[in-house]
Each structure stands twice: as C-alpha cells, then as structure tokens.
Structure 1
Amino acid sequence: MTDADKQTFLETARRVVSIETEALRLLAESFGAEIGDAVELLLSAKGRVIISGMGKSGHIARKIAATFASTGTPAHFVHPAEASHGDLGMMAQGDVALVLSNSGETPELADLVAYTRRFSIPLIGVASRADSTLIKQSDIGLILPKAQEACGTGVVPTTSTTMTLALGDALAVALMEHRRFTPENFREFHPGGKLGAQLSRVRDLMHSGDALPVIGEHTAMSDALLEISQKGFGVVGVTNDAGKLLGIITDGDLRRHMDGLLERTATEVMTAAPQTIAPGALAEEAVGIMNQRKITCLFVVDPEGDGAPAGLLHIHDCLRAGLG
C-alpha cells in the first residue's frame, strides 16, 4: 500500500464524516412541532414502545429500543418479518409503535403497520418521503430531510441511518429529561460493566457492621494492633465515647511511633481528622480522592449524621468493581 493510497483513505474518511455532519445539521433544522407530538405520544404509552425496521433500519431500531429501555422508557424491538409469523402478538393495545423505513415503502412492514391500524395502536413513522405509505398510515410522521448518502452512489444506507439513529437519541433524551431520569436510575438498568462501575455509590461497595475496624480513643496500642490484624484492612478508625470518628491509625502512623509504641494509646498515635467520604458519593469520586492523597482506604461518614463511621471503602473494592 502506497502513501498515496493512505492519503486517499484519509480523504474518504473525512468526506464521509463531513457529509453525515451536514445531514445532522439539516435534521436538526427540520425538527418542528411533530417532535413534541411524538414525545407526548410516547409518554402516553401505558404499555411498551414497539420499535421495528427492516435491514439497516432494523439494526438502528434495535439500538433505539435498547436506549429507550435503559433510560426509563420500556421498549423492545420486533422484527417485521418475524411479526408476520407470530410476533405480532408481542404488540397490544396500550403500546405505541415506532417504525423506521428510509423509503417508507418496505414491504415487510405491511403486516405490522396493518396490525397497528386494526387494533388502534398509535403509530409513529420515520421515513425520508412525506408521501410514502408508512407516513400516510402513521398517526405522526417524522420526515428525514433530503441528504445524500455518504457512499457516493446513493445505494448504501449511511447518512440515512445516521440521521435515524440521531433522531432516536433525540427522542430518548427528551423522554428521560421529562421523566427526570437520574444517574442513579441509569445504574439500576446498568448494574454490570464499566457504566455500572462508574455509577456505583460508596454505600454499594463499602464494608460495614462487624467488618468495620474501629476502636475507642483510649484503647491501648496492643489492642489496636490486634484490631488492625483481625480486620485485614491495614488501618483502624478511632472514635470517642459518643462514637464520632476522631482519627485513623495507618501503617505510616505505626512507623512514626515505633519508639515505645505499645506504651501509647490510640489518640497518641492516630492521625486526627482523617479524610472521609459520604455514603451517597460516587465510588469513582472516592477513587479520585485515594489516588490524589496516595491512600488505600476511606472511612465513610454521613455528613448529616452524628459523625460516626458508617463504613470503610478500600481501593481493592473499587478495583474489583471495575474502577481505578
């Protein structure tokens, strides 16, 4: 492969992105009142949003259904060909159908569209032609603006699928904002993987109860060392008689007080006013604090509580969850 070939590939890549960027601009400018009507109709669904499309539109429909479902709008994808062989039973009154077809004339959609008309299931159609069968049959039609496909031949769905995907994202975000969908809600649908880890709260990962390494302020260091050894975190928290966290004893504190260590009490060795974190904070924030301060754990204290330690978060817990 020559350098000229590589330059040609680079120019092609830039041209494709440029064409699709322009198409997205046209899409945004084309939005009108029908977008608000579509969101209102989707919000009114007592059942699910049924999303369908054939071929490349089907792939986009699957992604839109997944985005809806993970952001608080119950949705699933129905393959139009399978719908004609029994899967129409996945649709029911109370649902809303969102059907995608660039031409608006995809024959495999006919049975599905007819089913929505027969059972009064609201239909939102997405196509590039206002006079297409799909749009004419739809309760609400969302028209994609005229834009050239990025392939140059006008045959391969490229620009059209990009616009359809963006339109689906626009609807999903509008729905989630109306529902005041929060990161905590998002985590409920994404308990695994990197997203789930990033949205984990400290309370989800911390150690508490009997696992918490805590001693009183007047505890002898011989007993403090025993607590550190038994609990296995390499640290111990020091509390006053009311249970408020006063300090923490770490390996560094032990080294600094080696001379006569066993004759000392916990308050003589501890580091006072240690860094803490709230149970509702993101675990990712805790990792940032630990990395910045070069420490391996944080005591968890409710800022609205009595100052007592509610838990302990270790860096290893965060690493196991996929953070760090």
Structure 2
Amino acid sequence: MPLVDRFGRTIRKLRISVTDRCNFRCVYCMPAGPIAWLPRHQLLTYEEITRLTGIMVGMGVEKVRLTGGEPLARRDIPRLVRLLSGIEGLHSISMTTNGYFLPPLAQELRQAGLTSVNISLDTLRRDRFLKITGRDYFDRVMEGIEAADAAGLPVKINAVVMRDFNDDEIGDFSRWAAETGHAVRFIEFMPLDGDQRWDRSRVVTAEEILARLADVGSVEPVHNDPSEPARLYRVGLPGARPAVIGIIPTVSQPFCRHCDRIRLTAEGRIRNCLFAVEEHDLRTLLRSGADDATLAEAIAQAVWIKWEGHLINRPEFRRPAKAMYAIGG
C-alpha cells in the first residue's frame, strides 16, 4: 500500500521531530518568553518512532530527517539513529541541528548510521549571532561544523534570510561557502515564528537573493530535483572555486506541486505540511495496541487528504497555531 495523496504525489521522505526543546532562542522560530515544553511521557519513545518509521518505509518512504526543536537535545539520540539504520529499505538518515551538541557526538552519530547533517547558521558575525539566537554560542557552532567534517558527515548550512537583519551577508556566505566547500542554503523567512511577528516586508525573496548573488559572481543553475525544496546554483567567484548555493523559496515560489514529504511530530502525529492546521494522531493508536496493518491504514488515510498546497500567498491563509520549534523544522 504505497503512500499516495489524492493529487497523485507519492511520499518518499519523512521528517521526524524527536523533541520540541531547544537550547537556542532564534527570533524566526522560538518565542522570547517562557515555553510549556511537552512532558516526556507525551513524546514518542525511540522504539515507537522506529516502529512507525518501519511501517512507512514499507509503504515507500526512502529518506528520514531527524529534527526538533533541537534533536541533539534529546538524550542518547545516537541510539535512535542505530535503530533506524536497521530498517531495511531506508536509504538515508539525515539531521537538522543547530550544531551546539555536535563536537562530542558527530563521530558516534556517523558510526550509528547518520548520513548527513544540515547545520543552522544565520550569520558569520559573532555579535549578530547573539542577537539572532539569544545565545553566545557562535564558536561552539563552528566547532560543531568542524566536528561533522572530521567525522566524515556531509554538511549543508541553513541560513534564514531576514530583511534588515542579516540580508547583507549573502555575499559573505557565498565567499565562505567557496572557502570551506560547504553548500549554503538560503531560506526565506516563514510565518512560523513563536512571537508571531512575521511580516511579508521582512521576506527577502528568492529573486532578490539571486540578484545579490549575481553582484558577487556568476550564477549558474544546477539541475534540480523538483521534489527538493532548494533550488541549487553554482556561484563563480573571482579567484575561488565555485560555491554551491541553494535557495528555499517557500514563500515566494513554493514547491507544493512536487512535495513528497510528510512529518511525524514529537508527540506522534502525522502532519502533511509545515503550514498544516490539522494533525493526525498515531500515538493513541500505537499505545492502545493497534497492529501494524491498522497503523498503516491510519497513515495512508492521513496522507490521502494532504492538501494541494499551502496558502501563504492567498487571502484565506491561516497561520498554524504551532511555531517552527513545535513542528519540526
């Protein structure tokens, strides 16, 4: 029973949030005030995550990405990676992380079966890092990037671009990407911040980012998989090797037509889109003794009603009640 929605899209990718907790307070994600974290008993156990993932791999899922909150904030996360790596038919296990906990864990994660990491880094300036994240952890994140490199983990850098905040660093990031060999992905600012201060005027669009890239070098499109969120470009810089730059244009040029991913929240719910306003509970079924066939049917029904696309650019758009950290970035 393949995972197919009513618009004919086949689901191949699963994003798994393992916790809503995070040790950063990024302005585009976390609220500034106190947060009511999910109680531990509401989180899926590693064994429950593995069981649900195995069912979905049997239905066609090929790639898994672990997210949070901050996934490495959850205790003994390498054990989950080892459990998932034992699922026959799962081709890759990646992770999106802020990088803080990577220095002591990168090698163990690689040995457990992690295949790559995306590390959030929204600025190359220490003072601005503190302003964006609320934490003076710039050096620690850079150590995390070095640790991932040393462990042989392919690294991509995620940078959320916000107008009059860090958009003046697009050229700096391109030069840094050329120097380090890391792919950098610029992400449009999305209406998923905890304090709900998002405003369209602060979105630096993909078109604008491309124009800024053209100011620093030649820009050549790379062949893209339409089901991937990032549009890839090779940026040629004077006296340097080309930089690989991705742009994720979720707001201005959404890729919904080709979306082949779903999300499993930390509390065990299927979520068909970052901007979904409803979720589908699997934890209750799981903990009430449902067999795999019953769970597979519930998953298939949830996927079938995946909507055609989010409505950010239409008047009827409703902002999700959850912020990014509680969904899984």
TM-score normalised to structure 1 length: 0.22
Q: Could you say which structure has the greater relative contact order, defined with CA pairs below 8 angstroms and 6 or more residues apart?
A: 2
The answer to which structure has the higher helix fraction is: 1
TM-score normalised to structure 2 length: 0.22
